[in-house]
Structure 1
């Protein structure tokens, strides 16, 4: 395997993982935070939701900024903001203060979400881009696989506030990694061609591109299923099924292993069958698995083992959907990759926030509302996969089909 490909994947994956690490380490502590502050589930979940709001909204700025000033500067700014937010969260005297600094933390974290996708597009297109994106996600997978377990250990030793001191250190290490190991991939000549007016024009172009929007929303509802699981799984698995925080962390990690493990097949399978065909096959398997799971629970099979097995299968299929949809969407827009990546990320987080809010209206202490929300995401993604317009003949050069 190309050593430079691996190097870029490691650096970009670790930078991308810092923000999600602040989510996944934090999940086992949600019930404890509520108890410490005397806050209800809704308030505690708000500290998670505002992080997602900031992650989504901030990308609209970071994307064009990275087109105009290069990929590294917004990453520096984002990491510094993230560190400020982490200190504020660690010292928060109330749930309201925690929510406010989680927003600041999210504004910093979104740089690591949007810029790496643009770097991938700077370097590759088609199956090669899918391979790099999947490798990046493999490195990124250290967060959902290890962070909940690490969070449980940190919380046991130092309380939930210690989580934010740990992610502060991770962000400081990210600054060093960024300075020493990531070259600039946006040439100065191309930066001169970008401007604020150009960013607005680019957003207008993207919002008129039905194919781009369909692919973005397809990926967005795939990602939204994670958001629904993130927001509700700790309450369902700990409160409803009686798991300890450590047992919850292991159950949570199982789905991440499936998603990121199967994602490594994107490059090989995309080269052989075409990314679009692969994506449509995978999203069909994803939707079928989730519809079956909801049907079983509605029929009375409220079994944790059934849920874990079928979620494992569903998220394995999803590992072939999310990277492929992102690569296909960005293939047509290399000149504005940062802006396109930003809009994609904002749509993903926007859809995720809406789905979390909708599912929150139906919470009843069981797993059914959470699973129904994930299944709804899968069915919408399936519909979008088969409604995505064919590529314009003028853009048919890139090998994404």
Structure 2
């Protein structure tokens, strides 16, 4: 059987899990899946610095332009629920190629939007199409790897995909120096076209035909029902979704908190964001180094405890009124470091016990709940008398979610014992 990294390998050839996969093969797989999973965060974050320019050019309000961000998040959530079951029924490559192609087309169309309403609709469709990369990438990893091998691969993959939120706002700001806001969408279209070529040439089918499962509405409902009744799936998914909510609360609220309560500039905020993203990358790599030495559940517990210490201390400082920027930044960096442990281990814990035939549906359900919980939790930080997030409201939400994440982990541990 030819290696998937070989240029002469047929893309239609099915590949099976292998413990002898070469380093070159794994590196190429990380590259292809990393580019796919990075597309969503880039589409979400790259155009953020251009919000004022977009508002002026389209004659829209800030709230209307903000809905374009909400639309793509909703699309990413809905798209995963649709594309996941499709990948279980028809294989991974077909739905992925269609999704990447549609993402390329919608990215180009966003360049020519006549008004904000059309922009919102296109961003929703872009999110639906972009969901293919995330959900299929996780399913492919489940097809090919298990246990510590899967965690090790997810840690490598996280290193690639986490460069996206680190670089996206910085790249978007620099693009505004050389062209209009539409340039960001040309870059997205080019990156998506590159992803299409990479998948077409170097990502063979990972789901054997005999393992595929075509499900009608009743069968799909039955599969989803089985998943949501399984504590070994639901509890790590809750851990993952709640932790993502903690992370997204930071992403959505800290820009306002840092600039309005601590008086730093937008550029200063950008650098703090970059440093904290590096802390998250360091966490994923630290987690990878512990693979084979410490089991998955203990690595996950370590991440949850570090997160609770970080945000619990942040809450205490916020309530006491003695918080300074360097303290807050250090604690947020520790929280981000802990997320680097939580994400890959919770993902593997949720998917590892599921049959390959439902990996796409399980991945879709997990991803959809992750975005839904993340968005809902982050919105709570703005539920203050002023309607704007503060350091206290941000810390209250993050600390509460950290506690709930730990409780979900305890439920998971008890379900395994039972």
TM score, norm. by length of structure 1: 0.90
User: How many aligned positions are there?
Assistant: 393
Query: Does residue 46 in structure 1 map to residue 67 in structure 2?
Result: yes
Q: Using the TM superposition, give the Cα deviation of residue 389 of structure 1 relative to its aligned residue in structure 2, in angstroms.
A: 4.3
Question: Are the counterparts in 2 of residues 66 and 115 from structure 1 also a CA contact under 8 Å?
Answer: yes
Change in 2 beyond 3 A, CA 1:99/1:294: farther
Match of 1:7 among 18, 21, 28: 28
Q: Using the TM superposition, give the Cα deviation of residue 234 of structure 1 relative to its aligned residue in structure 2, in angstroms.
A: 3.6
Gaps of 5+ in 1: 395-401
Aligned pairs (5 A) from 1:138-177:
138-177=159-198
* 1:279-329 residue CA offsets vs partner (Å, 9 max, x unmatched): 112101101101211221222235332222111111101110111011011
Q: Using the TM superposition, give the Cα deviation of residue 108 of structure 1 relative to its aligned residue in structure 2, in angstroms.
A: 1.0
CA distance in 2, matches of 1:360, 1:42: 14
Query: Does residue 388 in structure 1 map to residue 412 in structure 2?
Result: yes
Aligned pairs (5 A) from 1:8-87:
8-34=29-55, 41-87=62-108
TM score, norm. by length of structure 2: 0.87
SS at match of 1:273: coil
Q: Corresponding residue for 2:322?
A: 301
Structure whose residues are more often helix by fraction = 1
Q: Using the TM superposition, give the Cα deviation of residue 41 of structure 1 relative to its aligned residue in structure 2, in angstroms.
A: 5.0
CA distance in 2, matches of 1:268, 1:298: 37
* Aligned alpha-carbon RMSD (Å): 2.3
Question: Are the counterparts in 2 of residues 218 and 381 from structure 1 also a CA contact under 8 Å?
Answer: yes
Change in 2 beyond 3 A, CA 1:88/1:376: farther
Mean Cα deviation higher: 265-274 or 250-259:
265-274
Question: Are the counterparts in 1 of residues 232 and 353 from structure 2 also a CA contact under 8 Å?
Answer: no
Change in 2 beyond 3 A, CA 1:37/1:367: farther
CA distance in 2, matches of 1:126, 1:80: 32
Change in 2 beyond 3 A, CA 1:50/1:359: farther
* 1:118-138 residue CA offsets vs partner (Å, 9 max, x unmatched): 111101111110000111111
Q: Corresponding residue for 2:382?
A: 360
Gaps of 5+ in 2: 1-21
CA distance in 2, matches of 1:325, 1:266: 12
Larger radius of gyration: 2
Match of 1:338 among 352, 360, 371: 360
CA distance in 1, matches of 2:400, 2:102: 35
